[in-house]
Chain A
Amino acid sequence: MTQATDEKGYAADMHHSQFKPNDRLKQLIGRRDWLTQNHKKDLYCDNAEFLIYHWSGKSETFAAATGDNAASEEERINIGDHTCRVDVGGPFPYLDEMPSKVHGNEPTVTSWAADYAFFLRHSDAEVYPHEQIVGEFHWQLDEARSYKYPGSHAELGHKARELGAGGFSLAHTCPDLAIGLKLGWGGLLDKVRASRGKHAAYGNAKSVEYLDASEQVVLSVIDYVQRHATQASMLATQTDDANLKANYELVAANCANIAQKPPSTYHEALQWIMLYMIVERINGHGNGYGRFDQLLNPFYQADKAAGRIDRERARELLAEWYLKYGPHLSYGGRREDGSDATNEMSWIGLEAYDMVGGYNQFGVQWHSDMDPEFWAYCNDVVARHGCGVPALLNNDVMVGSQLRTGFPEAHARNTSYSGCQWYCIPGREYQDQDVNCIVLIAPMQRAMNLAIEQNVETWDEFWAIYCHEVDRTSDAFVDFKNEAYKYHAQLWPEMITSLCSHGPIEKGRDLTDFDSVDYNYPSVNVLGVPNVADSMYAIKRGCFDEKKYTLQQLHDACTSDWTGEGEEVMRQYFLNLPKFGNDEDSVDAMAVEISEQVRETTEAKHCIKGGHFRPSLFQFQGHTVAGPYLGATPDGRKRAEPLAHGMNPMHGRNTEGLLATANSFTKLDFNKYQGGSLQIELHPSAFGGYDSRGDMMQQFSDVFFAQGGVQINLNVFDLDELRDAYENPEKTEYDHIVVKVTGYSAHFTKMDRQFQKEFLERVNYTKLN
């Protein structure tokens, strides 16, 4: 594969890092950049409807890149360089030999595991020059195995869609890697076999079937890891370059050591996690990977005490790990006893990023007792690099929301940031975080229609109708999800994740099954809360309090996209009423009421796996494309405009600056929701008189978190540059620009153009004179 070899600015230089990559890392940076710049890491979904409802009606998850489940090239949307998979073009080479193609596809764990094992055994062990941590894959299982729920599921899905809801179930949880790091693949195999023996003695055929399948999966993984050792040994014999030879031999020794045994060094632990992540991501989309400083520090400290490693080497290896793929994981937080969990690995985690920069997804979990020097460094890194890494999280609010849901303290305290805006107790939850959605615009639009039909004259009556419609949407959503839960564990089990979870192997039930992991309280993203809050406030003022226009007039104007006679004047009236995000109590109170109402409605409903639903004040990218599907809204929004991003104020409506928006945000009690990130785009000039950007960032985040904010994604960029990049896609000079799009980072120039456009419309909290 071609590599970028030209001399260029490295992130460490551009962003004034004191840690510089060595020559080996520079080679690996070149390869990382080449892969993203050539669209080798892109993630796709079927179509716009998938983004809006999180279910397309076509595939059951993100679009497979090739094969029967693939989306059409014309329709699919590029979410950006968001995948671990490296595209080499073409379908899986052994597609026709897949057991399910040869022997027939059964919706059973046995059939799934046979496909998985075959698939992994036919995936090459790949070792590239200069690497000391290896692992790379090119196809996911859904490119080779059919993935389709029964028709009853689609039927309920379309009903839910009609009422404004959807969702899928795949990954989006967080395994507890401590389990695997302790047992190794051999130990996991023993555990599976021991549990099988136990369940056989109980006469529990269902669990025996699952554990037999699991055994096949683990054996294929051991083979896959071992093949990396073989491949590296072979490459070592083929080179005369002493450095390369030494690298290959090191890789061979590490992979051989961890094929069965648990990792015994820091380097082996990183290699173990890398291959774990790959064999897990091969079965679909990804997960979070937990509290990296807590997982790695014991390995690092043991190596250091034995004189096997120093901080510089530990940093180099972690930087290499990031260069291969930077998934969601976390640093910081508290120990189980409540004390600060920050350790030397937390520092190394940040320093490694400071050295290589760019695309990454990790977050730092602040709390009021955090080591102030470490926290200062976190703010310094995100403000200097300016692309949302690390995401800044409020550990105490995250844990608070877990406790409120009913999880015991010992578990809740171990909560880890695991995805865009969500968090998870490693190995103990399966909750569909970030993959379900309620589009709140829909019940509001139905409420308007019904209120007109019924000649409603008071706001209270209107509000009652709205509440009823939110309830109807929620019911349709719950029916749809419950139908999926009936089939999920057999149709698409998640056996690798199950191995590193508490319960599945012991019980012989997949992580996705009933009564497997401890907590099943499905999450649901709510799309359009700020638009609905602004709209409902506008309806209340304009149609009921001031009676300036009738609901019928407003309805007609939205239907015609405000193009009728006198409707632009009318639109200006509604548009210029107070809007959420400006620290105005009147409309901010409506935002609180709207959020609370949908929370109470969804929390009152249970899934058939046991837990109630938990709303998140966030939605992944649906806002960019939803406009034309949902039409104009009473907040003065035109049809073609995007919706607000998550809980962030609608584009261009927050005119009072960042602190006003922060104050509006913290009027909500984030303990009650599963996440709700504040997205900040700053122009470099916003740092004004500050010598250090990190100082200003830290002052802001300290106050925002003290007041109850839960997450900050900070981008620092020059809007003119991004506009130029958008308008001149042929220019390559902007290829290095990484932005935190929602809860994930991506290279700006590699995103779908609609995503780019929406990003440009966000308010730059700036000051130019």
Chain B
Amino acid sequence: MSKQRTAGVFDTHRMATDDGPGMRTTLFFQGCPMRCRWCHNPESISMASKVWSVNTKACIDCGECARVCPRKAMVSTGDGRTIDRQSCDNCGECAEVCPTHHLQSVAENWTVDQAAKFVLKDKPFYDRSGGGVTASGGEPLSHAEFVAELFRKLQAQGVHTALDTCGLCSAEQIQSILPHTDLILWDIKTMNPEEHAAFTGVSNERILENLLLVAEWVRNHSETDLWIRTPLAPGMTATSDTLRQIGTFLQDHLAGTVSRWDLCAFNPMARDKYKRLGLTWELAETPLLTKDQAAELLRVAQQHAPAATDVSLGGPTQATPLTNKA
């Protein structure tokens, strides 16, 4: 028997209600070709999994990590240990011995069977709620063959499959996965190629070409659904111009294929992750959009989107900071 294909999975979320319809299990895959300045999952960007602390407060300063570290990278902070990123080569020895398990490899390598088994645990809930599995990341197409195989297996078991992608991949990769995908969640961050390069490190030409391929597929396969997602990053993509241009593009090129367009309001809650990776984040102190700003962006998007596209706004704003008395 040939060795099973594996992929790095850095997080899972069961009963996810924001990544497609119904209750879903979202698998987050390691590795991303883009470098979005607002990225919420900085630990997932590099293909090689790093070692980090999932909860620095959990450290009991027992010194086990320092004892085994071959590069003397576990340095004392006074009330615990932290990783000296200059010395660390992510060998993972420390995570092996950490008694509190707060030191961990960002990602675990999963086989397709392992991933399928995990997803199937909640199958009755998908069946009842119209949910299923969502492959997210990182960038799931960093593991296109793995995801295609996983989706094929899960679809055969009656699980609804959703691909949450940035769209930066080869045409072959996206085409290979479409037959096994029920819903595509496709990011359009901005229409402007220079801005796109400035915000994400890459141009958007390939992404938009791929999107047209996807739209073509959706036109010919009415069972496949396409949602567009746009992150509303303050000072970058959260502008009326951006949304007007995306809306116009959807109207001109994708009418009839996009059933929903989600605007995702930025929040800075990933700041602790950057800190734990020893990185600085330019958006760490960025305030939430105000309720009025968000409402105006929603209005612009609704005005320009195709009539059949349902536009919705998610995420916190300043007037409704993650609480809801209703």
Task: Tell me, in angstroms, the Cα distance from A768 to B122 when the chains sit together.
Answer: 21
In the complex, B69 has a CB within 8 A of chain A = no
In the complex, A687 has a CB within 8 A of chain B = yes
Interface residues of A in 652-670 (CB under 8 A from B): 656-660, 663
Task: Tell me, in angstroms, the Cα distance from A488 to B76 when the chains sit together.
Answer: 66
> Are A696 and B129 closer than 8 Å at their CB atoms?
yes
Task: Tell me, in angstroms, the Cα distance from A224 to B210 when the chains sit together.
Answer: 82
Task: Tell me, in angstroms, the Cα distance from A690 to B15 when the chains sit together.
Answer: 12
> Are A718 and B15 closer than 8 Å at their CB atoms?
no
> Are A720 and B14 closer than 8 Å at their CB atoms?
no
Task: Tell me, in angstroms, the Cα distance from A658 to B13 when the chains sit together.
Answer: 11
In the complex, A706 has a CB within 8 A of chain B = yes
> Are B326 and A15 closer than 8 Å at their CB atoms?
yes
In the complex, A641 has a CB within 8 A of chain B = no
List, in ascending order, chain B residues with CB within 8 A of A700's CB. Answer: 23, 125
Interface string of A703-727 (1 = CB under 8 A from B): 1001100000000001011000000
In the complex, B286 has a CB within 8 A of chain A = no
List, in ascending order, chain B residues with CB within 8 A of A718's CB. Answer: 323-325
> Are A721 and B323 closer than 8 Å at their CB atoms?
yes
Interface string of B305-325 (1 = CB under 8 A from A): 000000000100000001111
Classify chain B: how many residues form its interface, as a range: 20 to 34
Max chain B Cβ within 10 angstroms of own Cβ: one of A690, A703, A765, A768: A703
Q: Which of the residues A569, A684, A685, A703 comes within 8 Å of B125, measured between beta carbons?
A: A703
Given contacts A569-B64, A689-B17, contact A699 B325 (CB under 8 A): no
Main secondary structure of the interface of B (DSSP, over half): loop
List, in ascending order, chain B residues with CB within 8 A of A659's CB. Answer: 14-15, 23, 121-122, 125
> Are A769 and B125 closer than 8 Å at their CB atoms?
no
List, in ascending order, chain A residues with CB within 8 A of B124's CB. Answer: 703, 706-707
> Are A569 and B326 closer than 8 Å at their CB atoms?
no
Q: Which residue from chain B places its CB closest to the CB of A657 in the assembled complex?
A: B14
> Are A702 and B326 closer than 8 Å at their CB atoms?
no
> Are B326 and A14 closer than 8 Å at their CB atoms?
yes
> Are B325 and A569 closer than 8 Å at their CB atoms?
no
Given contacts A583-B121, A768-B269, contact A658 B128 (CB under 8 A): no
List, in ascending order, chain A residues with CB within 8 A of B324's CB. Answer: 684-685, 718
Q: Which of the residues B14, B269, B270 comes within 8 Å of A660, measured between beta carbons?
A: B14
> Are A572 and B125 closer than 8 Å at their CB atoms?
no
A654 CB, nearest partner CB in chain B, Å = 11
> Are A686 and B17 closer than 8 Å at their CB atoms?
yes
Q: Which residue from chain B places its CB closest to the CB of A719 in the assembled complex?
A: B323
In the complex, B18 has a CB within 8 A of chain A = yes
Interface string of B40-73 (1 = CB under 8 A from A): 1000000000000000000010101000000000
In the complex, A292 has a CB within 8 A of chain B = no
Q: Which residue from chain A places its CB closest to the CB of B99 in the assembled complex?
A: A572
> Are B60 and A572 closer than 8 Å at their CB atoms?
yes
Given contacts A583-B121, A659-B125, A706-B124, contact A767 B269 (CB under 8 A): no
In the complex, A576 has a CB within 8 A of chain B = yes
A-B CB contact pairs (8 Å), 28 listed: A14-B325, A568-B60, A569-B60, A569-B62, A572-B60, A572-B100, A572-B101, A576-B101, A658-B15, A659-B23, A659-B122, A659-B125, A684-B323, A684-B324, A685-B322, A688-B16, A689-B18, A689-B314, A690-B17, A696-B129, A699-B129, A703-B127, A703-B128, A706-B124, A707-B124, A720-B323, A721-B323, A768-B322
Which residues of B are interface residues toward A (Cβ below 8 A)?
13-18, 21-23, 40, 60, 62, 64, 99-101, 121-122, 124-125, 127-129, 267, 269-270, 314, 322-326
